[in-house]
Structure 1
Amino acid sequence: MTAYPELGLYIDGEWIGTAGREKMAVLDPATGESLGDLPLAGAADLDRALEVADRGFRRWRDTAPEARATILLRTAALIRERIDALAEIATREQGKILAEAKGEGLAAAAMLEFQAGETVRIYGRILPRPAGMRSLVLHQPVGPVAAFCAWNFPLLNVVRKISPAIAAGCSIILKPSEETPGSAVAILKCFQDAGLPGDVAQILFGVPDMVSRHLLASPVTRKLSFTGSVPVGKHLARLAADSMMKTTMELGGHGPVLVFDDCDLERTLDTLVTHKFRNAGQVCVAPTRFYVQDGIYEAFAQGFAERTRKVKLGSGLDSGVQMGPLANPRRPEAIGELIEDARSAGARVLAGGSVIEGKGFFFEPTVIADVPLEARAMNEEPFGPLALMRPFGTIEEAIGQANRLPFGLAAYCFTENARRQNLLADAIEAGMVSINATRLTWPDAPFGGMKDSGFGSEDGPEGIAAHLTTKAVHIA
């Protein structure tokens, strides 16, 4: 088994341990046992990181795009070389099955490779003017970035923050989740070994509110990038507003799924059950609210439940396991409360519905049919292995239900009717819509939401553009 990494802060190219600092235990969600102690940054650490990021930015912004691209490509190569060890670290501290963790790491490498190519395509333009005049539009790096990412994709989320920032010419201070620090440490060591200067990317762990207030109050910080819950995102956006810094917010979702009676039912079920319970449903773009046309509703619900009961639970490190534990001890209780609320409102539990007793933070994959709209689970993001089902009659009704909530991150539609596909693509209020498929993350495609699910995009050329500021220059 791969050794769990020694945890530390990374400031100015130096790894800093627990000596003289508060610390917290990192837990294995499959056993509840401690994997190691994580040092928490104090105010002096944050001040030092800000000073270093300011210095690093002033040097890095003048570094040739080709040199930045080379480091991104070297980092991608190291991730591919170390993928087995990286996947095992992510599984041990987050819980997802090993195959999913490996896929996540390879997606991170592909993202680095794409953005390496984009570093040399940060184009401006020349505007037509009378002879002897020039008007230029320049896109320049915005400055040091403060980035915060969630625990559910501990390898990919780290790359998703660091890669576009340094591709654009920015420095970055990253605060990954304190619940999955080993993955962040291992990824940053890939950047370090690829030759990234220590003053360009740094990682800090600490009390989240203290760290965010300190970094966002500094005049050094010129951009906020956040992945996490809607309430925390709104709180950070208010802090960022005091200095009018640029922001990218990738917040929570409550993914609607519209299943029409002309779909390929068996293929649709196979696709959706697998995707629903990926990472135990702890995915911001997870399909969650299943609206199924009347004629196939009962067949769909029973088919979904039948497949769900066959999902094998266990440690993500064990062969044959299809779903691991929830990430922390808070999640099983939260999912249980949502299920009991729905049950008391008249919903039918067709599969699962219970905590798995014993070591670790396991919860059965669960299917609930006939869920009333007033049930909490139909209005609050469950962020767990919970599939909610309701029937619909017309396309207008389905669209209305899909757009009912303030969330607008991801949506899924299953229909073979091409005219209907075009209508749904236009009408659904979500930053990402997938039709007859479930994959939404591609290196060249923007990733982001609308409404309460945030604003701005990560990934693709848009991810780098989010780290640039526009300047007009007029020369006579």
Structure 2
Amino acid sequence: MTKHTSDESTAKIVRDYPKIGLFLNGEWVYDRDPYTYVINPSNESKLAPVPKATDADLQRALSAAERGFRVWRDTPPQQRVAIIQKAVKLARERIDAIATVLSLENGKPFEHARAEIDRSMNFYEWEMGQALRAYGTIVPGASQMQKFVIKQPIGPVFAVTPWNVPMSSAARKTSAALAAGCSVILKPAEETPGTACELVRCFGEAGLPPGVLNLVLGDPAHISSTLIASPVTRMVTFTGSVHIGKHLSQLAASVMKPVLMELGGHAPVLVGASVNATEVGRISALAKTRAAGQICASPSRFIVHQNSYSEFVASFAKTLNELRVGDGLQPGVEMGPVANVRRLSAAQSLVDDAKNRGANVAAGGHRLGDRGYFFAPTLLTDVPLDADVMTIEPFSPVAACVPAVDLDHAISIANSLSVGLAAYAFTNSLDEAEQLGRRLECGVLSINHFDTPDADTPFGGVKETGIGREGGPSSLDAYLVTKTILQSTVTV
């Protein structure tokens, strides 16, 4: 494990961490009582207080979003695009500073944080193009009747984003909503608000009209119940756990509001008998530990053909043992801490449960050091299928590996859960690839690699993993309503 930053260098970096505020109707609000504090997961120091929005603040956000929507929906798409372009340009110019903020509050290595920001800007660039392609249709009709179908923005959107990808998730939601002509009230995670504040700051400085993009922080349950119940809010979009997603969906359903939900996964990785198991084991270990395994599409259940199993496990464990773990702002670090103390205890609980049920620990399995939320990259082998780590999304650098006798056996294990977001498979058989594409219950399948969808392809899951898709050719659909206009040409 690499050394942490020195106290002197850490103090300098903390001075660069932004002051956290609410953004209401184009103005920053800082003078509120703290709800909590942002904690640096690498050393457990306090970075900044997080202001707690009052009921008056929430009503101000709603009023601002309502007024902002009336302005933004009537702004021609070309003008919307011009403003979004300015914000993207500012974010790209500030990428190193924003990446430092992201690494400080989330823990991921600086280069990974930088890559997240760069990829997030691609979402805006894709949606800017989509804003110019929100076409309507003319339907042939009888004489004296004209039929039009048009797309209009749905209205103010309440967007809730998680701590694990604080830029990527915020960009996914705001890029589509703003491109479609909606206003947004954004509620980022209170554990990682700095990145979202920096994103919102770019839009404010780019000339986005007041009220079009607002940011609130504080008591998540109170904020959600208040904003969802308001008649101003017309749509709810959330990325996070299945449990919270269901709760927010129920709140929205009680007032008949549409939702876009991207919820948890537990991605299986199916490894066939014909592959280079040593190489697949190596890249699997690197993919598993990206963002310390705290990504909804993170590979987590490794289901390996029995003929490849021993070689795969040996390579995976070797790679984990050689991984450099430490403060994400230190050069050469490949994996940072988990984001909070809850994930630290959850990871240890999964390991202990698996061991108690007979699994073996091939690498890791314990906390690293006594300061910071560092957990050793871990590989559990020969894991019973009823172990918690096989049924509960780990959201940590803990991987579970089990052997499979054939493809049918592997697919049955992969499909055994109630979630289905990402899945991965490695095979050199075209027949197996075809079967995997058809039979695996997931929203995204990557074959012979660990990449996930870019802005131009849909991302989302099946079963309890959520409702709807983000990205791809239909990325604006959730933020638009279809209106049919039947116009008689008869004079009355």
TM-score normalised by L of structure 2 = 0.95
Q: How far apart are residue 132 of structure 1 and its match?
A: 2.7
| 1:104 counterpart residue number | 116
Partners in 2 of 1:460 and 1:198 — Cα distance?
29
Q: How far apart are residue 216 of structure 1 and its match?
A: 0.5
Partners in 2 of 1:202 and 1:465 — Cα distance?
22
Whether 2:59 is the aligned partner of 1:47: answer yes
16, 22, 40: which one aligns with 1:9: 22
Do the aligned residues in 2 keep the contact of 1:282 with 1:384 (CA within 8 Å)?
yes
Whether 2:448 is the aligned partner of 1:442: answer no
Residues 266 and 301 (structure 1), Cα distance of their counterparts in 2 relative to 1, 3 Å cut:
closer
What is the number of residues matched between the two proteins? 475
Whether 2:40 is the aligned partner of 1:28: answer yes
Q: How far apart are residue 420 of structure 1 and its match?
A: 1.4
Q: How far apart are residue 195 of structure 1 and its match?
A: 1.4
Aligned-partner SS, 2:129: helix
Whether 2:83 is the aligned partner of 1:71: answer yes
| 1:230 counterpart residue number | 242
Determine what percentage of the aligned residue pairs are the same residue.
Answer: 43
Query: Match of 2:132, as an amino acid?
Result: V
Query: Match of 1:388, as an amino acid?
Result: A
List per-residue Cα deviations over 1:75-113 (Å, max 9, x = no partner). Answer: 221111111111110000000001110000000111111
| 1:369 counterpart residue number | 381
Partners in 2 of 1:20 and 1:71 — Cα distance?
30
| 2:345 counterpart residue number | 333
Partners in 2 of 1:413 and 1:79 — Cα distance?
35
Residues 195 and 298 (structure 1), Cα distance of their counterparts in 2 relative to 1, 3 Å cut:
same
Residues 8 and 262 (structure 1), Cα distance of their counterparts in 2 relative to 1, 3 Å cut:
same
Partners in 2 of 1:198 and 1:422 — Cα distance?
51
Structure 1, 259-268 or 44-53: larger mean CA deviation: 259-268
Q: How far apart are residue 265 of structure 1 and its match?
A: 2.5
| 1:311 counterpart residue number | 323
Aligned-partner SS, 1:285: coil
Do the aligned residues in 2 keep the contact of 1:410 with 1:433 (CA within 8 Å)?
yes
List per-residue Cα deviations over 1:136-195 (Å, max 9, x = no partner). Answer: 111111110001000001111111121110100100001000000110111111111221
403, 412, 434: which one aligns with 1:422: 434
| 1:356 counterpart residue number | 368
Partners in 1 of 2:39 and 2:210 — Cα distance?
28
Aligned-partner SS, 1:461: coil
Query: Match of 2:121, as an amino acid?
Result: A
Partners in 2 of 1:320 and 1:89 — Cα distance?
18
List per-residue Cα deviations over 1:415-462 (Å, max 9, x = no partner). Answer: 111121121111111111111111113011111111111010112233
| 1:393 counterpart residue number | 405
Q: How far apart are residue 20 of structure 1 and its match?
A: 4.3
Query: Match of 2:27, as an amino acid?
Result: E
Q: How far apart are residue 264 of structure 1 and its match?
A: 3.0
Query: Match of 2:106, as an amino acid?
Result: Q
Partners in 2 of 1:463 and 1:148 — Cα distance?
18
Q: How far apart are residue 258 of structure 1 and its match?
A: 0.4
Query: Match of 1:201, as an amino acid?
Result: L
Partners in 1 of 2:475 and 2:359 — Cα distance?
41
Q: How far apart are residue 401 of structure 1 and its match?
A: 0.9
Whether 2:204 is the aligned partner of 1:153: answer no
Do the aligned residues in 1 keep the contact of 2:35 with 2:219 (CA within 8 Å)?
no
Whether 2:225 is the aligned partner of 1:213: answer yes
46, 60, 71: which one aligns with 1:59: 71
Q: Which runs of 5+ in 1 are unaligned?
A: none
Aligned-partner SS, 1:466: helix
| 1:188 counterpart residue number | 200
Pairing 1:122-133 to 2, within 5 Å after superposition: 122-133=134-145
RMSD between aligned residues = 1.1
Do the aligned residues in 2 keep the contact of 1:150 with 1:157 (CA within 8 Å)?
yes
Pairing 1:209-288 to 2, within 5 Å after superposition: 209-288=221-300
Partners in 1 of 2:148 and 2:279 — Cα distance?
53
Q: How far apart are residue 198 of structure 1 and its match?
A: 2.3
Query: Match of 2:329, as an amino acid?
Result: L
Query: Match of 2:147, as an amino acid?
Result: S
Q: How far apart are residue 357 of structure 1 and its match?
A: 2.3
Do the aligned residues in 2 keep the contact of 1:115 with 1:460 (CA within 8 Å)?
no
Q: Which runs of 5+ in 2 are unaligned?
A: 1-11
Partners in 2 of 1:270 and 1:203 — Cα distance?
41
Do the aligned residues in 2 keep the contact of 1:145 with 1:225 (CA within 8 Å)?
yes
Do the aligned residues in 1 keep the contact of 2:444 with 2:459 (CA within 8 Å)?
yes
Aligned-partner SS, 1:295: coil
Query: Match of 1:370, as an amino acid?
Result: D
Q: Which runs of 4+ in 1 moved over 3 A?
A: none
| 2:7 counterpart residue number | none
